[in-house]
Every structure is written in C-alpha cells, then in structure tokens.
C-alpha cells in the first residue's frame, strides 16, 4: 500500500474542523448562561470612610461555582479580579471605602450582574474625600458686524450662438451660463 500525503492533509483538516466545531458547541451551551446573581448586601447601610464592611451575595443556577468579580465604581475589589465563590452559592468580600460619596458595588458571574448603591460618608477621622471640581462655563462668543461694506463688482454681459440657437445674457450669472453653453455647443 502506498502512502498518500494529500489524504493525510485532508484528514488533519477534517480533524481540526471537528475539534473547532466541538469547541463552538461547547461555547454555545456554556454554563455562564446558567449562573445568576440573586442578591447583594452590605453589613452596613450607612458606611463611613475608613470603616470595614462585608459585602455578601447569594448565587443560584446550575453554574454557581463560576468565578465572580466584585467591583466598586468599576475598580476591582479583589486580587485576582475574579475569585471562586465559597461556599458554593455564596460569596463575600471585605470592603473598606476610602472616599465619601456614592459607591456602586457590582458583582458579575458569567452573564449575570447585580448592583448595590451605597452612600459613604466621611467620619472626620481620616480617609480621603474626593470633591468634584467646579467648572465655569466659557464666556459667550459674540459676533461683531463688519464696519465696512464689501466691494461689489459690476455685472458682466454675454451672448452666444450654438447649434441650438443663439442667446444673450447680462450679469455675472448670465456670463457664466453663456460661457458654458458656448463650450458645450462648440461656438466661440
């Protein structure tokens, strides 16, 4: 029996296509769609700058063991950014706010996201308070009318003849049209 390199290449291509197709099916039915963040809570509803609090969440769905990502106003609360929920169906982290103001706490697991909005106050014992900068509207733009009248040109005149007849016109628009007609119909 003879070795057929072309057959091997085709066989390898079919094997790669089969593996890629299987991976696509696995992604299409991924368990991320079965993960749900049910609730988020804080150990305090009136947190202060510098305090230490526990943020907790209950999870459900077939994929409660998927990694979760906690964030405060978009900044990761854990390192690494995603952690394994433990025990299964529950996750919690320690949170120590460093700025006063509104904090949006979010938890992502797969395709499911829940948010909790907390207002952190400054307790006067330290921490940093971020104050939004004040902005001033730019002065209104004013337009000054011109002090002199623009120069005007005297209207011209024109005439023309062509295979479709002759004509004349006055004024700059007339001269323009007359010139165009002469050029189109070949008269000078």
Higher pLDDT, 145 or 3: 145
Q: Report whether pLDDT(27) > 50.
A: no
In angstroms, the CA 162 to CA 146 distance is 44
Higher pLDDT, 28 or 157: 157
135-153 pLDDT per residue, tens:
555 666 666 666 666 666 5
Q: Report whether pLDDT(131) > 80.
A: no
Q: Which residue has the tokens 């797969």?
A: 110
CA angle 84, 27, 18 (to 5 degrees): 135
Task: Name all domains of the chain by residue range, CATH numbers in brackets.
Answer: 32-120 (2.60.40.10), 155-188 (no CATH)
Q: Which residue has the tokens 């963040």?
A: 37
Which tokens go with 57?
């969440």
The alpha carbon of 131 is separated from its chain's Cα centroid by a whole number of angstroms, namely 26
Neighbour tally for 107: CB within 10 Å: 24
Question: What is the percentage of the chain residues whose pLDDT exceeds 90?
Answer: 40
Mean pLDDT of 122-131: 53
Among 30-39, 56-65, 97-106, 129-138, the range scoring the smallest mean pLDDT is 129-138
């Amino acid at each position: 029996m003879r070795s057929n390199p072309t057959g091997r290449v085709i066989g390898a291509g079919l094997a790669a296509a089969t593996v890629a197709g299987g991976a696509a099916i696995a992604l299409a039915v991924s368990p991320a769609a079965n993960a749900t963040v049910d609730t988020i809570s804080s150990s305090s509803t009136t947190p202060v700058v510098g305090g230490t609090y526990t943020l907790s969440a209950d999870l459900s769905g077939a994929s409660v063991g998927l990694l979760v990502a906690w964030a405060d106003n978009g900044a990761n609360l854990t390192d690494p950014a995603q952690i394994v929920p433990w025990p299964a169906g529950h996750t919690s982290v320690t949170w120590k706010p460093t700025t006063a103001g509104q904090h949006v706490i979010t938890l992502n697991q797969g395709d499911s996201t829940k948010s909790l909005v907390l207002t952190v106050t400054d307790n006067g014992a330290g921490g940093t308070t971020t104050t939004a900068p004040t902005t001033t509207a730019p002065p209104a733009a004013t337009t000054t009318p011109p002090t002199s009248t623009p120069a005007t040109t005297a209207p011209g005149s024109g005439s023309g003849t062509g295979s479709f007849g002759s004509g004349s016109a006055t004024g700059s628009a007339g001269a323009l049209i007359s010139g165009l007609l002469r050029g189109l119909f070949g008269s000078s």
